[in-house]
Amino acid sequence: MHLWMNWRFTNIHYYYYYDTYIQFWKHNDQSKTIQHLNGHMKTNSKHDFYYNIKNSYNMENYLCTLNKDESGALSKFRLSAHKLEIEKGRYCKPFIPRNERLCENCNLQLVEDEKHFLLYCPFYDNSRQQYLSPFIKPNITDSIQLNILINNVESIVNVGSFVLHAFKKRGI
Ligand SMILES: [Zn+2]
């Protein structure tokens, strides 16, 4: 329990750090910090998803455009401060290897990570159809697709709604 609470606190801290405050820092502090963060994210698999989607160091647009519930859910999702198997497995004893943290909500036998949750898991097909289908493009890489969804003003409100609904359905 203690570890779990620390973990949550740490991720909430990251959210403020990366998504909110960085533009307010003095220029020198900012470039040093960005360098440090990039180095940290590159070497820490926990931040793979965030490293993939974080492509600017201004306050993130979604913090102003989404309502409180949606923006809170999206922050947790962006910062991997959630309870998808990819994160839960990290804190299990005994430790569960990354490639064994499979989704228990479908039969695809795939790791339940952010990509699976947002793009593929059939458990959320209805919500995906409702909120994300206009922004899903054929014949592009998953990495580009995730960026199209998460880093565009046109899609971000729908992504926030999807994540909030899907987290509720998932019970997290
Ligand atoms: Zn699944």
Q: Any idea which of 13-22, 71-80, 129-138 has the lowest mean pLDDT?
A: 13-22
CA of 24 to the centre of ligand 1 (A): 39
20 Cα to the center of ligand 1, angstroms: 31
pLDDT given at position 50: 82
Task: Tell how far the Cα of 31 is from the centroid of ligand 1, in angstroms.
Answer: 39
Q: What's residue 18's pLDDT?
A: 62
The reported pLDDT for the residue numbered 13 is 57
What is the per-residue pLDDT for 30? 65
Mean pLDDT of 63-68: 89
For 49, counting Cβ atoms within 10 Å of its Cβ (0-12 exposed, 13-18 middle, 19+ buried), the class is: buried
- CA 16 to ligand 1 centroid distance, Å: 29
CA 152 to chain CA mean position, Å: 15
Give pLDDT, residue 8.
46
How confident is the model over 81-108, as pLDDT tens digits?
Answer: 889 999 888 888 888 999 999 999 999 9
Angle at 142 between CA 138 and CA 145, to 5 degrees: 65
